[in-house]
Chain A
Amino acid sequence: MFTKSSTPFTGLRVAVTGGTSGLGLALVRELLGRGARVAFVARSRDRVERIAREHRGAHGIVGDVSLKEDIHPIALQVIGELGGVDVLVNNASDLGPAPLKLLADTECEEVERALDTNLLGPFRLTRALLGALAASARERGGAVVLNVSSDAAISPYPSWGAYGASKAALLHLSRIWDAELAADGVRVLSMDPGDMDTPLHALAVPDADPATLKRPEDAARELADAIAAALHDEGRVS
């Protein structure tokens, strides 16, 4: 019989960025529910402490992935507190200008912020954790980086310029890194969770009917399944 304790998540060490709201928080809960050991990162100390209090066993880390100076302190805490890392989910995202703007009206600083959070943050954090991820793959046969993408990475939606361009770049980064790290047993996945009822979506489309949107819990389950499938493909033994 398929039981929770037999899932590949038991004891798995997972880091999730943007873990105090929306999809990130749903992922933290989903992964904890499947038996993973979870460290989550977010900017607000109050929220991090509250979520850590509410979720026994979750390690809360205060940090901003868009800041270069925060990356190594975050990586230090992730690996230190979990004793290593098997899965990294780069989920923290910046919408760019809110409300959304045509690209011609978008300030350079708004594009930079979106790139810092959605592209450079995942690049830097993945790089800082790559030694630990590769060690995990050598030891147990596979590790996963999951970059949360968007249909805006593929479709040129007007007024989603800063976000769409940064997510397109992240998608391509994921594909190149996946090719480069295949021999090391580190998979780099990119997944579009769909339009969800999250704070980020509410910023972008304030008048959307939540009933028409996907629940982040459902998206979190799909992402966790994708991680499990990738680890299984790599032949990981837990």
Chain B
Amino acid sequence: MIAAADRPIHRPADAQLLIADAAGRVSTTPRTAFLDVLRPGDLVVANDAATLPASLRGEHRPTGRAIEVRLAGRLSLAGDEVREFAAIVFGEGDFHMRTEDRPLPPPLAAGDRLALGPLSATVLATLDHPRLIRLGFDAAPDAIWAGLARHGRPIQYAHVAQPLALWDVWTAFAGPPVAFEAPSAGFSLDWKTLSAMRTRKIEFATLTHAAGISSTGDDALDARLPFDEPYHVPAATARAIARARLEGRRVVAVGTTVVRALEHAARRDGRVHEGCGLADQRIGPATRLKVVDAILSGVHEAGTSHYQLLRAFTDDATLERMVEAMDAHDFRGHEFGDSVFIEAHVTRRPARRRPTSRRLPVLCDRR
């Protein structure tokens, strides 16, 4: 059993890194040595999504009962399309209580009004689960942003005793506030590391992926995770990936969300296209990775969707050896924990054809 990291420190001095190479060999090193496991020419791609204050306390107006709404999904990344969200609703209690133990909200029905601090919202639809709804804010986009900024809090974790502030859940390079929970693999990268990459001829690029909620505490809901997640691949990133593939250089994903976005963007013809998409696929042992050669990720427990995704990179025997090594070295799990670096088993041949500039259908407007 891996213990949870219980303090919101992005780069603890004693953070560890477990490495599983392409041959399945497992070793550990201090995480500060992360760049030493990379090679000159590697292209590191990170998710630059900033984390929304997605937890909103309030009241279910028809019953007057206290609720917590956690925004959990959206179909677009556009800043002016923030009226509708998929949301998970909890009953009374707070984050000190494990989500597993949180009571259900009062029965919810379409049309119910929710008072959420300065914001008001309507249940647009219930989504065949007592906690899951489609929610609509009753305000203009700027007023919704202002309300979220003022009243929203980052989604909190029972394993972190002190309340998380927004700065605790933004990576050093966070940009568009579209993630529902932090793309936490990026916590290990600071500006010094980004600068050192440049010195070592390691390329750095970003995409934006609306990382969804990691766990709801409800088995039926958790089985549906991850929800569909919108992403945006900038033109510069698509070009950098095309160049790396052409030259046989590795693409290293920082976090599971980057894998999901890149593999989705390349699903048609193996090439990562610039633009927006909606990642709706599940990645697991049967997935043949088209783009990503290695992943830097957090420590995930067997059974989670994150762990399933790692099975696309390496075989179960290697994953088992990894778990043994992490146990032996007291690795810590969750958002502020230690990290793993896994090289994909099979190295692909470089893409032969030059990339085209065809764009994906535009789902988000990034004017």
- Residues of A that sit less than 8 Å from B by CB: 11, 37, 52, 59-62, 72-77, 79-84, 128, 130-132, 134-135, 138-140, 180, 183-184
Contact = CB atoms under 8 A, between A and B. Distances in A.
Contacts of A37: 367
Contact of B176 (A52, A72, A83): A83
Contacts of B365: 83
Nearest to A68: B167
Contacts of A72: 165-167, 170
A205 B172 CA distance: 42
**B interface, how many residues as a size bin?**
35 or more
Contacts of B235: 139
Contacts of A180: 191
A77 B151 CA distance: 13
A80 B177 contact: yes
9 contacts: A76-B177, A80-B148, A83-B366, A84-B175, A131-B48, A132-B48, A139-B236, A140-B236, A180-B191
Interface stretch (B138-146, B245-253, B308-316): B138-146
A79 B367 contact: no
Interface in B169-210: 170-177, 191, 194-195, 198, 205-206
B50 A84 contact: no
Most central of B145, B150, B237 by chain A CB within 10 Å: B145
Interface string B39-51: 0000000001010
A184 B191 CA distance: 10
B127 interface: no
A52 B145 CA distance: 15
A183 B192 CA distance: 12
Given A76-B148, A76-B177, A131 B50 contact: yes
B78 interface: yes
Nearest to B79: A83
A128 B53 CA distance: 15
A135 B175 contact: yes
A122 B165 CA distance: 20
A88 B13 CA distance: 33
B91 interface: no
A182 B173 CA distance: 16
Given A74-B149, A76-B177, A81-B142, 10 more contacts: A72-B165, A73-B150, A73-B166, A76-B50, A77-B146, A79-B176, A84-B175, A134-B173, A135-B175, A138-B205
B298 to A, nearest CB: 20
A207 B129 CA distance: 69
B234 interface: yes
Nearest to B204: A138
B281 to A, nearest CB: 25
B123 interface: no
B233 to A, nearest CB: 11
Contact of B173 (A73, A83, A130): A130
Contacts of B206: 135, 138
Q: Which of A60, A131, A183 has the most CB of B within 10 A?
A: A131
Nearest to B234: A139
A135 B234 contact: yes
Given A60-B142, A139-B234, A139-B236, A76 B149 contact: yes
B175 A131 contact: yes
B82 interface: yes
B145 A80 contact: yes
B259 to A, nearest CB: 20
B159 to A, nearest CB: 23
Contacts of A76: 50, 52-53, 145, 148-149, 166, 177
